[in-house]
Structure 1
Amino acid sequence: MDSAAITGGAPQYGPSKPPAPPQESKSTTQDLSQIPLFMSSLEDVPEGTNDAIEALRALAYEGEPHEIAENFRQQGNESYRSRFWRDAIEFYTKALAVGCSVDEINSACYSNRAACNLELRNYRRTNLDCAEALKINPRNVKALYRSARACLALDKIPEAEDCVRRGLVIDGGNGSLKAIEGKIYSRKEVLARLQEASQERELFSKAKETAMKKALETRRVIQRTASTRPPNLPEDAVVQLQDPLDPESGLRFPVVVLYPLHLQSDFIKSLSEEETIYSQLEDILSPSNLPAWDKEGEYAYPGVDVLVEKKSYGMNGKSSLSKVGSKTSLKKVLSEGKLELVDGILTVLVVPKPRLAEFVAIWKQENPN
């Protein structure tokens, strides 16, 4: 007889299909994270959702207050040794929340929580916990050491020194305290040098201000603050003395050159008081280097005039407009009071010689006296 199976129809040849795997019933599956053995924390599961976990939670609070607190403290110590600082903080906090009356446990929990905060660089919290630990036990050397480290990290040198001093009175041979004492001394020296350098900079800055004030007063330079410093000027575009501490040394000024008839401008970063304004224009407006906006070549040097404007902001004051001679030094212009130093910047006007009368007429219309 043929080996094919008889099924009431055609014979079936070849291997039979493997049986389908049994389907898992939903009622028999369980999330492993809900089983205490596989949980990272009893707090991972909401209250009331797992009877076994609720029982374990209840066990954590069984016993006398000092026993419960000590249990949490030990769990905190285990987390600390495993470098799980935040978990350790949670256990120490729970131990303190029990409110047991054993000072040794409470002081240790505050001190150990301070150690965790120190590792997390929460220096303020470290000091707060150390203070609580020392209230309970003023001879808690670990709390003094940890507070010293936190104070040192915050550059609170006197406080750090006080913690070390108090700790060494209790335990004169404590190596950790002596080590931090050396670090405090080194940092103290660094801070002293920084403070000395800062004071020197401050004194130098005041001396420079005094010299500059005297230099400008001696030269009778009119100064005014308008808080309208032209935009996009370099930060170092300021009035400078050749010798910052000698008011009699040469002065140099930043100068904005305006071309009012074309609403354009140039900038001279540093012009000596002994120079003329024209000496700079010779380069700026050389016939071979005229600005692109001067399509007619009107400003080719020496075909320009320089004017200075002295504004008046009083009710009865008068504004003035003066022409500057080509051989007149900047120092003389300033001493004659025809040009103001406004917000540390000088401003001059440049117009083509053929259009001087035109510009003066426009200026008078805009500045009626």
Structure 2
Amino acid sequence: MGDDGDDDVMDAFIDRFKTEKYKNAFSEENWEEEMDRIPLFMTKAPDVVDPEKYPQLAALQSMIYDEDRTPEEKAEDLKNEGNSYFKKKLYKPALLSYTAALKMKSDNPDLDTVIFSNRAATHFYLGNMRSALNDATAAKKLKPDHLKALVRGAQCCVELRKFAEALKWCDEGLKLHPEDKKLQELRAVADKLKRAADRDARKAKVKEKKLLGEKETLLNIIKERGIKFLPSARPRRGSDSDEEEKSSSPLSLDGLSSQEVTGAQVHVNPEDGALYWPVLFLYPEHQQSDFISAFCENHSFSDHLSVMFGEELPPWDTDRKYRPSNLQLFFEDEQNETLYQVDAQTSLLQAQQHRRYFVKAGTPSFILLVKDSPFCQRYLSDKKVHRL
């Protein structure tokens, strides 16, 4: 047959090809979905492999899990499957494959070492540093000179800020692989970070010791003034007896915790040696409060009330009745459920030195009521009230 005959046959084939669809071709609508069913092009492994939907993948798995194959052969195939996923950065499917490979129990230490090391790398890229370190440790136990496991173990320790342990991994590795650049670099990084962490720890310890000393000094100053903190455990109700006073908790550093709540804390003014306290004023009639961050112990309450309720009254006082001359000041004895009325000319220290006054959570607090008001009468009607 001549060239012209061949051309005629080819032209006829092409014409028929244009009009007839290939029976096994991908559909135009679902070609991406159909391609994703082929193991080579999969972007995500299915949780359940349906042989009708994933025939190629089912065939591969049947080869891997064939009962006639040895555990080592199955583990090898699963390892290769994990490697394929890992190269595509599909770390979760890779993790499943490596885990399945280890479950085969191949009894081949060299193969298991590689699988543990590869799974350690997978955990590392997933951010599971502790699991990665566990796998690197398992690989090193099977084969102490396995370089990838040694490198991965050191990397995990650095990420976990276990710098001393990272140095140990590096030193063990460099004894076996003295020329390895990666181990040398990791050791330099771990050593630098360890020195910085040790320096920071020393600074923090010195700072903590200094703060502790300052708090203990402050505590002694408070104790010398006869100021008491509210007991952490509520004692049994009773009278104002000396025995009850002894049941109150002693001064402790925990009692100076107001900074956590209010942002301020009692401190000593170095110029005059006076204590300055954060003080809370409560207005139960309006469910309002005022906070003074530094109330000098030698100042009277009237000094602050004249400023707080001077020309400019608070917006919640719509009746304009919170004037300094109209106010009554109290502190509460929570143990005996008793109110003690405090004269506005009294200093903060004088109130704190009362035998039934206890500072709660590092912040002295006082109640303010409008004298002879209906609310004041109702508020005091069911309470025991004493004057200082």
TM-score, L = length of structure 2? 0.69
**Which of 262, 282, 289 pairs up with 1:235?**
262
Q: Tell me how far apart the structure 2 counterparts of residues 226 and 202 of structure 1 sit (CA, whole Å).
A: 25
**Which of 282, 290, 306 pairs up with 2:306?**
282
Partner of 1:313, secondary structure, is: coil
Amino acid across the alignment from 2:278: P
Q: Tell me how far apart the structure 1 counterparts of residues 333 and 351 of structure 2 sit (CA, whole Å).
A: 15
CA shift for structure 1 position 175? 0.8
Question: Is 1:202 aligned to 2:208, yes or no?
Answer: yes
1:58 corresponds in structure 2 to 62
Residues 215, 80 of structure 1: alpha-carbon distance in 2 compared, 3 angstrom cutoff: same
Checking the alignment, whether the CA contact within 8 Å between 1:42 and 1:57 is kept in structure 2 is: no
Amino acid across the alignment from 2:314: P
1:110 corresponds in structure 2 to 116
How many residues end up aligned between the 2 structures? 334
Question: Is 1:271 aligned to 2:295, yes or no?
Answer: yes
Structure 2 unpaired stretches of 5+: 1-18, 235-259
**Which of 192, 216, 226 pairs up with 2:222?**
216
CA shift for structure 1 position 274? 2.2
1:254 corresponds in structure 2 to 278
Q: Tell me how far apart the structure 2 counterparts of residues 344 and 143 of structure 1 sit (CA, whole Å).
A: 54
Amino acid across the alignment from 1:240: H
Q: Which segment is superposed worse, 141-150 or 304-313? A: 304-313
Checking the alignment, whether the CA contact within 8 Å between 1:227 and 1:343 is kept in structure 2 is: no
> Aligned-pair RMSD on alpha carbons?
4.2
CA shift for structure 1 position 205? 3.2
Q: Tell me how far apart the structure 1 counterparts of residues 287 and 54 of structure 2 sit (CA, whole Å).
A: 81
Amino acid across the alignment from 2:132: T
**Which of 123, 126, 140 pairs up with 2:132?**
126
Q: What does the per-residue CA deviation read over 1:208-238, in whole Å, with 9 as the maximum and x for residues that have no partner? A: 321222121111123324799xxxx962243
Structure 1 unpaired stretches of 5+: 1-21
Q: What does the per-residue CA deviation read over 1:193-214, in whole Å, with 9 as the maximum and x for residues that have no partner? A: 3322332342233223212221
Q: Tell me how far apart the structure 2 counterparts of residues 203 and 89 of structure 1 sit (CA, whole Å).
A: 47
Checking the alignment, whether the CA contact within 8 Å between 1:42 and 1:53 is kept in structure 2 is: no
1:11 corresponds in structure 2 to none
Q: Tell me how far apart the structure 2 counterparts of residues 364 and 196 of structure 1 sit (CA, whole Å).
A: 58
Checking the alignment, whether the CA contact within 8 Å between 1:308 and 1:339 is kept in structure 2 is: no
Question: Is 1:46 aligned to 2:50, yes or no?
Answer: yes
CA shift for structure 1 position 121? 1.7
2:384 corresponds in structure 1 to 367
Checking the alignment, whether the CA contact within 8 Å between 1:225 and 1:343 is kept in structure 2 is: no
2:161 corresponds in structure 1 to 155
Residues 68, 312 of structure 1: alpha-carbon distance in 2 compared, 3 angstrom cutoff: closer
Q: What does the per-residue CA deviation read over 1:158-208, in whole Å, with 9 as the maximum and x for residues that have no partner? A: 322221111111111111111111111122123213322332342233223
Q: Which segment is superposed worse, 291-300 or 264-273? A: 291-300
CA shift for structure 1 position 306? 5.0
Counterparts of 1:51-90 in structure 2, within 5 Å, are 54-60=58-64, 61=66, 66-90=72-96
Question: Is 1:345 aligned to 2:363, yes or no?
Answer: yes
1:145 corresponds in structure 2 to 151
Checking the alignment, whether the CA contact within 8 Å between 2:44 and 2:93 is kept in structure 1 is: no
CA shift for structure 1 position 367? 0.8
Checking the alignment, whether the CA contact within 8 Å between 2:43 and 2:90 is kept in structure 1 is: no
